[in-house]
């Protein structure tokens, strides 16, 4: 085995072992809970825009985007636009691809900052509910003739909303690419962490993912991502389309 393949195999073995390491998993879970309480993920930016993501998930997205080299990335939920700009910058490095962001409320100050950003040339935004059929009809033309499409869901985190997003947007994901539901971590955290939100334990993206997968065998959870990251807001949310 050549050195490159040997190192790759060592990484795979380490990642698999991490997923069985109870002490490491317990530490990771404690870290995740405490950092969510502290608002840790709100402190990071990408190329000047708040991204509101864990660095671990950002690295996972970089690896996936480099691997699949999408022609189009669809993201529901824009907020400050940091994720749109992050994905666009990776596509810029790859040399192809565009990002389509959908949000029910694109605030004017955020829109202005996104549109004046150097990466805006690869970004398009649509305002409206991600599960509105009229919005889906607006999204469809962007997916036409695209060889590789991936989808990231990060808007309303209730079970009903995310399940509908999964049902509507999974049609756009191409084989070998990914459908990613963020904030599945809600299911694994104490109830009191989300007392001021409409989502909670039993009603969140993870419960939606599990229900979605019961009736859709085109996707599988990529557990290698979970075992690699250990700290993530999307455990069980990285789904690969296998057919």
Count of domains for the chain:
1
Query: Coil, strand or helix: which one is 93?
Result: helix
Please answer whether residues 53 and 82 qualify as being in contact, where contact means their C-beta atoms are separated by less than 8 angstroms: yes
Q: What is the pLDDT of residue 117?
A: 98
Domain that holds residue 54: 3-241
Run of H or E residues at 91: helix 82-94
Q: What is the pLDDT of residue 196?
A: 79
DSSP conformational letter for 174? P
Please answer whether residues 66 and 94 qualify as being in contact, where contact means their C-beta atoms are separated by less than 8 angstroms: yes
Q: What is the pLDDT along the chain (243 residues), one digit of tens a residue?
A: 899 999 999 999 999 999 999 999 999 999 999 999 999 999 999 999 999 999 999 999 999 999 999 999 999 999 999 999 999 999 999 999 999 999 999 999 999 999 999 999 999 999 999 999 999 999 999 999 999 999 999 999 999 999 999 999 999 999 999 999 999 999 999 988 877 788 999 999 999 999 999 999 999 999 999 999 999 999 999 999 999
Q: What is the pLDDT of residue 102?
A: 98
Please answer whether residues 87 and 53 qualify as being in contact, where contact means their C-beta atoms are separated by less than 8 angstroms: no
Beta bridge partners, 22, equal: none
Q: What is the pLDDT of residue 191?
A: 86
What CATH number is given to the structural domain containing 151? 3.40.50.150
CB-hemisphere CA count at 13 Å for 170?
Answer: 22
Please answer whether residues 224 and 11 qualify as being in contact, where contact means their C-beta atoms are separated by less than 8 angstroms: no
Q: What is the pLDDT of residue 146?
A: 98
Beta bridge partners, 200, equal: 203
CA distances to 3, 91, 111 from 164, rounded to whole Å, are: 46, 28, 26
């Amino acid at each position: 085995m050549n050195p490159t393949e040997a190192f790759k195999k060592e990484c795979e073995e380490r990642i698999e072992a991490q997923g069985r390491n109870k002490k490491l998993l317990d530490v990771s879970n404690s870290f995740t809970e405490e950092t969510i309480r502290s608002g840790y993920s709100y402190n990071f930016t990408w190329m000047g825009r708040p991204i509101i993501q864990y660095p671990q998930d950002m690295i996972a997205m970089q690896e996936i985007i480099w691997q699949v080299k999408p022609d189009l990335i669809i993201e529901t939920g824009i907020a400050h636009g940091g994720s749109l700009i992050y994905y666009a910058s990776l596509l810029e490095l790859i040399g192809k691809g565009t990002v389509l962001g959908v949000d029910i409320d694109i605030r004017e100050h955020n829109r202005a900052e996104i549109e004046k950003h150097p990466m805006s040339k690869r970004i398009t935004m649509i305002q409206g509910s991600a599960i509105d059929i009229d919005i889906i009809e607006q999204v469809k033309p962007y997916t036409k003739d695209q060889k590789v499409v991936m989808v990231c869901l990060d808007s309303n985190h209730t079970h009903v909303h995310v399940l509908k997003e999964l049902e509507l947007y999974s049609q756009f994901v191409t084989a070998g690419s990914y459908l990613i539901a963020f904030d599945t971590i809600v299911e694994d955290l104490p109830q009191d962490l989300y007392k001021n939100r409409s989502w909670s334990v039993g009603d969140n993206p993870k419960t939606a993912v599990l229900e979605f997968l019961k009736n859709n065998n085109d996707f599988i959870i990529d557990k290698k991502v979970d075992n690699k990251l250990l700290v993530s807001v999307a455990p069980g949310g990285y789904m690969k389309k296998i057919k």
